[in-house]
Structure 1
Amino acid sequence: MRSSFRGAGAAAVATALAVVVAGSWFGYQQLAGPSCSGEIQLSVAATPELAPAVADAASQWVKDGAAVGGTCIAVTVTSSDSVEVAAAVASKHGATLAGVGQASGTAVTPDVWIPDSSTWLLRLKNNGATAFAPGNGASIARSPIVVAMPEPVAASRLGWPDKKLSWTDLLRAVSSDKPLRAGIVEPTRDAAGLSGLLSLTAAASASGGDAQQATTGALRALATGRSALRQDLLARFPRSNDPASIASALSAAALSEEDVMAYNNTKPPIPLAALYLEPSPMPLDYPYAVLPGVEPSKASAARVLYELLTTQGFKNRLAAQSLRAPDGNWGEGFRAPQGAPSPAGGQSTVPPAGVGAAGGLDPVAIDRAVSGWSIATQSGRMLCVIDVSGSMKTEVPSANNASRAQVTVAAASRGLNLFDDSWSIGLWTFSTNLVGSRDWREIVPINPLSSNRSRLEQGLGFVRPSDGNTGLYDTMLEAYKTVQRDWEPGRVNSVVLFTDGKNEDDNGISQTKLLSELKALADPERPVQVVIIGIGNEVSKAELQSITSVTGGGTFVTEDPTKIGDIFLKAIALRPNAPR
C-alpha cells in the first residue's frame, strides 16, 4: 500500500480514468489525422504514485488528436497497489507468494501492469507462475530506496548530512544498547520494504562473527516495528517537535525517495531526512509489463503507449510526482532531498544482496530474504519428521559426499536458528519397524523452543539412517493426528516431512486408506498444514501431492539435496496465516 500523503492528483486517479488515445505504429510523434474509427480497449494498472503521470500523458495524447492506423484506442488507467495486482496475477497463474494472500473477489488482471518494482515479476515467475512471461518489462521511472529518519534523529545519531553512511552504520544503530526505533512495511507485501530488508540483512551477514545470529537479530529488530500498510508506518513518525514525542516515535524506516518527498510536502512538524546509504539498495524501477495472453491489437496499442512514456515530456510529468526517469535523471521541477546523489550518479559499484553483478535481480537471494523474514516474524507449532530409511545413506557428491540424511539434518539445524522461542517444535524420524512394528520414533515431543531448543539440537545430532524401507503412509497419518490432537489457536499448526522415497511398507495402510482417513480428520476449525519435501529422483511427486491436496500445505521436490535448505525455508514461509 502506497503512502496516503498525496496531493489532489493522486486522489483524482483513485478511480479509473478512461481516456481515448491513439497513435502511429512508428511512434506517437508520427501521428496521423485526428479522425479514427473503431476502438481498442486497453486496461492499465499502475502503482498509485505513478498513475497520475500515466493518466495525464494518455489524456494529452487524446487532446493532440492521436490515432493508430485509423483505429481509436480507449485506455483505462487505474491506480492499483502492486500487491493487489500481484495477488490477482498469482491466482490466475497458480503461483503462491509468501505473505501476499488471496486476491480480492473483485481483482481483475489488466492488459498492462506497471508495478513499483520488478521484484514482483520475479517473485511470480519463481514461485509457481512458470508460464508467466510478460512482454516488454522495461523501466519507465525510478525512485531510489532511502532510510527515512526524522531530521533531528539523523543529525544526532548518524551525523547527517555531513557524514557518508552505510548499511553497516544503520545496523549498529539498530542493534546498539540504545537502539533506534526501526520500522518497515511488511516486506512480503511492499517492494521498498523488501529492498531495505535485503540491504540490512546483507550488512548483517557481512558483519563478522555469527552471521546468522546477526541476521536473525536484525530481522527481529525490524519486526517489532513493522506495519502492514505504508500510511500506518508513516503516521508513526513524530507529529510534534517536542523531545518526548521525537524520542517515542519511529526513528528509521526503508522507504522510497518519492515517499519521503511526498511526506515532506505535507509540511510535517518534523521533516524526514532521506539517507542514501551505501551500497545502494535496489531502487523501485516501475517495469512496464504487458501481461501474457493479451490479444495482438492490444499488444500493439501497448507498444505505442510505452513509446509515449519514454519521452522528455513524460520525464517532466514524473518530476511532478517526485519520481525520476529510469536512468536516475530527473525532469523539470524535481526538488531532490538534501544529500541526494546527482542525477544518474552516486550509485555504488557493489550491488547489494538480491542484485546481480549486471544489475539483474537474484531470485535465490530474494526468496531467502522473504523466507527468513516470514519465519523470524511469525509464530507456529510444527512437527518435523525426517526419513531415516536406508536410502538416506546415499552420498551427495555436491555436498562433499555427505549422506542425504546429513544434508537434511544440516538444513533443519540452520532453519532451527531462525525460529524464535515463541515457536513450538518437535522431532520424529521414520522408516519401517523403528520401534517394534511401528514406523516412527519420537525424538523430541512438541514443546516451546524456550525450553526445547537444546533437546532439538541434540536430537538432530543423533539422527542416523536405518536399514529399513520408507513407512510413509502410517507415519504421515500418525503425525497428522498428533499435531491435531493438541492444536493451538492463533498459530499455524503443521507437519513438515522430509523423504527421499515412496511408501514401501507392505504391512502398513494403503494410499486409499490414508487419504480417506485424512479427509475424515480434516477440520476447517482446526486445520493442520502438511508440507512435504521430496529429496532425490526416487520420490513420487504425484504420491506426495495426493496427501497435501487433502490436508492443505504443499509439496516440494528437488533432485539436488543441497537445495533442501532453501526449499525448507521457502516451504515454511508459504504457509497461510494462522486461523483465529
Structure 2
Amino acid sequence: MAIVVVIAGTWLGYQQLADSGCTGSVRLSVAAAPEIAPAVEQIASQWITGGAEVSGTCVAVDVTEATPADIAGAVSREHNVALAGLGTAPETVAVPDVWLPDSSTWLLRLQQEASGFKPTKISSVAQSPIVLAVPEPIAKTFGWPDKKMSWDQLLSQFGTDGTLQVGIVDPTRDAAGLNSLLAIGAIAGSGQEGLLKKTQALTALSENDSSLREELLQQFPKSTDANDLGTSLQAAPLSEEDVVAYNAQRPAVQLSAIYMEPSPTPLDYPYSIMPQVVDTAKAAAADGLLAQLSSAAFKDSLAAVGLRAPDGTYGAAFQAPVGAPAASPAVKSSGGADGGKAASGVSGNDLSRAVGSWVATTLPGRVLAVFDVSGSMGKAVPTAGGATRAQVTQAAARGGLSLFNNKWAVGVWRFSTNLDGSKPYKQLVPITPLTSGRPQLEASIGELNPVPAGDTGLYDTVLAAYQEVQKNWKAGRSNSVILFTDGKNENADGLGQDEFLDKLKKAQDPKKPVRLVLIGIGNEVDKGELDTISKTVKGSGVFIAEDPARISDIFLEAIGTRTGAS
C-alpha cells in the first residue's frame, strides 16, 4: 500500500508538472535513512506539486527508505571492497542518485576503503544528538533530570558489582553505536589503564549488542516490576530521535534521554550526490531538491519525525525529551568529496581505530602475528623516550593482545634470517585459542628482541605465514596474517621477488580467503615493496607507521579496515 501511495503521489505530481509547461523529464532516485525518509518524501511531493523543474525540464523524485548499512553494502559491491563487519549487498539493492544516510561516518568509511568513491556534493540537512537511553525509573536513580551524567561516570560502572545492563547496536552496522565508541575511546585515554577501561566498556556493551536498532529497543523493560527493571536492558547509546520515536508509542516504561558530557558526534544526515550523477539535468535536479531540504518548511517536517535542523534547533511539533537542550551544537562539517572529516572533525582513521577496537574485542578470529627482529629493530625511537623499535612494537603487541577477546586464536612468529636453520622465521607459539594460550602468548612477546646481525627474510616469511594460516583455515572467522617490519627483503639465500609473488598468487584459494596485513615501521621501510606484495592478495592492506610510537593506532586501523592501504 505504501509503495502504491508513493507511486501515485509521484505520478500525480508529474501530471501537474506536465500541465505547468515544463517539457521532458528527469527522474531522481533518493535513498534515505528510514527515520528521515517521510520528511524528505513530504517536501519532495510539495516541490513537485508546486512545479519542480530545472531549465524547463520536469523533475520527478523517487524517495525510498533504506538502512544506511544496505546502501553502504551496495556502494562497496560497486567498488569491489567491503567494510569491516558489513560485507556487500545483494544485486537487488541499487546505488541511488542521492544518498541520505544518518551519518557522514558511512561516507568516510567507504572512502577509506574505496579511493574512487567521491560524492560530488555533501551537505548536512538534519541532526540528532547521541544520548544514553535509560528507562526512566533507572535514570532517576542517577539523579536525572536534575543531574547530568558524564562518560567517566558511565565507564566507572563497568567491572563493578553495580554494573548496568548495557547494550549497543553493532557499531560496524550503526552510526550511533560507532560514534559512541569514539566518545568512549576519547574518555578512556591511552596507556594500559585507558586500554583496560575501553576493553571493559566494549566487552560490557557487546553482551547485549544487536544488529538492528529495533532489536535493541525490544530489550528495554516492558513493566515497572523490579525484576523486569533489573534483568532488562538498562542503558544504551542511541540517537535522540530513537528515544522520541520509542516514547511516541507510549510504552509502559518510557526512556529518558541522558545528554552525556562531552557530547558524542551527532548524527548529521549528509545529503550526498553520488559520483555516477554526471548528467547535467540530473545534477541540477539533485541541487534543486537540496535547496528544498534547506527550507524552513523542511525544519518543521523534521520536527514531526523527531529530528533537528543542522544548526541543532528544532521546528514546530518536536516532542523534546525531558532535559533536552533547546539547541544542540551545530554540525560543523559533513565531510567533502575528497574525503575530509565528518561532523565534529572525526576522520576516517579515527573511525577505523574505533571499528578495529570493536572487532578485536567482540568478534571471533584467527591471526598469526609475525614480528621483524632484524638488527635495525634495535634503533631508538626519538618520540618514544629512546625506546627501540622492537620495544615499541612489543608494547603495541601486549596492548593488542589484551584487546582480543577469548573468541580469538592467536599465534606468534619472529623473523630475520637464519632463525631456524636456513629458515628466516621461527614459530614461538602456534595459533592457539586465547582461552588457554594467553599466558604463553604474553610470554612470547618478551622473545621479540632484535638479532644484532640479522637481516630481513621478508619474502620467505610472508609466504610461509600465509600458508600456515590457510592450512587450518576456519569458516565464520577472520583468518589473517599481520606482519610488522621496518625494512625490505634482504635474504640472499631465499626467494627472489618474481618467484615469491608467483608462489603467493598460486597459494590463494577463493574458498579459503586469508587477509594479509603488512605494517611498516619507521621511515626506512620499502612501501613500494609492501604494496607489490599486498596487491597480490585480494583484500590485503599496507599500513605505514612512519613514527613507530604510533604502532598501536596503526594496528587498530588495520584491524578496522578490510581493504585498501594507508
TM bucket (normalised to shorter chain) is 0.7 to 0.9
Deviation by residue 1:33-67 (Cα, 9 ceiling, x = unmatched): 92100112222111111111111111111222233
Q: CA deviation at 1:377?
A: 0.6
Structure 1 residues 83 and 413: CA distance shift in structure 2, 3 A: same
Contact 1:17 1:76 in 2 (8 A): no
CA distance, structure 2, for counterparts of residue 426 and residue 14 of structure 1: 55
**Deviation per CA, 1:197-219, whole angstroms, max 9, x where unpaired?**
2223333338x981211111011
Structure 1 equivalent of residue 107 of structure 2:
121
Rounded to whole Å, the distance in 2 between the matches of 1:432 and 1:285 is: 52
Tell me if 1:81 matches 2:67: yes
**Could you say if the C-alpha distance between residues 193 and 450 of structure 1 is closer, same or farther in structure 2, counting changes exceeding 3 Å?**
same
Specify the code of the residue in structure 2 equivalent to 1:340: A
Alpha-carbon distance change, 551 to 130 in structure 1, aligned in 2, over 3 angstroms:
closer
Deviations, residues 288-323 of structure 1 (Å, cap 9, x unaligned): 112224223222222221111111111111111111
Kindly report which structure 2 residues correspond to 1:440-519, keeping only aligned pairs within 5 A, or say none: 440-466=425-451, 467-518=453-504
Deviation at 1:124, TM superposition (A): 2.4
Measure the CA separation in 2 of the matches of 1:423 and 1:335. Answer: 45
* Structure 1 equivalent of residue 145 of structure 2: 161
Q: 3-state DSSP class of the match of 1:509?
A: coil
1:255 maps to which residue?
A: 238
CA distance in 2, matches of 1:284, 1:13: 29
Aligned counterpart, 1:367: 352
1:203 matches 2:190: no
Q: What residue in structure 1 maps to residue 36 of structure 2?
A: 50
Tell me the amino acid that sits aligned with residue 268 of structure 1: P
Counterpart in the other structure of 1:27 = none
Do structure 1's residue 318 and structure 2's residue 302 form an aligned pair?
A: yes
Q: How many angstroms does 1:121 deviate by?
A: 1.9
Kept in 1, the 8 Å contact 2:123–2:272? The answer is yes
> For 1:427, what is the secondary structure of its paired residue?
strand
**Match of residue 101, structure 1, among 87, 98, 101:** 87
Q: CA deviation at 1:103?
A: 2.6
Q: 1:32 to 1:515 in 2, by over 3 A?
A: closer
Match for 2:236: what amino acid? A
Structure 1 distance, partners of 2:46, 2:118, is 31
- SS at 1:215 equivalent: helix
Identical aligned pairs, as a percentage? 50
Measured after TM superposition, the shift of residue 347 of structure 1 is 8.8
- Letter paired with 1:571: A
Query: Following superposition of structure 1 onto structure 2, how do residues 281-296 of structure 1 map, counting pairs within 5 Å?
Result: 281-295=264-278, 296=280
- Does 2:254 correspond to 1:264? no
Separation in 2, partners of 1:62, 1:346: 33
RMSD: 3.2
Amino acid at match of 1:50: I
TM-score, length of structure 2 as denominator length: 0.88
**C-alpha distance in 1, partners of 2:199/2:127?**
30
SS at match of 2:238: strand
Distance in 2 of aligned mates of 1:478 and 1:492: 18
Change (3 A) 1:475 1:14: farther
Give 1:235's aligned residue.
218
Give the count of matched residue pairs: 551
Q: One-letter code of the match for 1:39? A: S
Letter aligned with residue 53 of structure 2 = A
Distance in 2, Cα, partners of 1:193 & 1:414 = 23
Judged with a 3 Å threshold, the aligned counterparts in structure 2 of structure 1 residues 438 and 321 are, in CA distance, closer, same or farther, namely: same
How many Å apart are 1:348 and its aligned residue? 13
Moved more, 439-448 or 300-309: 439-448
Summarize deviations over 1:117-166 as a string: whole Å, max 9, x none: 121222223x133343324422211111111111122223x222232222
The residue aligned with 2:311 is 327
1:407 to 392, 413, 417: 392
Structure 1 residues 465 and 152, CA gap change in structure 2 (3 angstroms): same
**Whole-Å separation in 2 of the counterparts to 1:487 and 1:58:** 51
**1:151 to 2:136 alignment:** yes
2:258 to 275, 278, 283: 275
Is 2:291 the partner of 1:307? Answer: yes
Give CA-to-partner distance per residue, 1:169-188, whole Å, 9 cap, x none.
Answer: 22233443132110100011
The answer to whether the 8 A contact 1:20-1:73 is kept is: no
State the alpha-carbon separation in 2 of the partners of residues 465 and 58 from structure 1.
65
Partner of 1:573: 560
Tell me the TM-score normalized by structure 1: 0.86
Asked if structure 2 preserves the Cα contact closer than 8 Å seen for 1:382 and 1:446, the reply is yes
Q: 1:564 aligns with which of 544, 551, 559?
A: 551
Pick the aligned partner of 1:133 from 118, 121, 142. Answer: 118
Q: Runs of 5+ in structure 1 lacking a partner?
A: 1-7, 23-30, 350-354
Q: CA deviation at 1:402?
A: 4.1
Q: 1:434 to 1:341 in 2, by over 3 A?
A: same
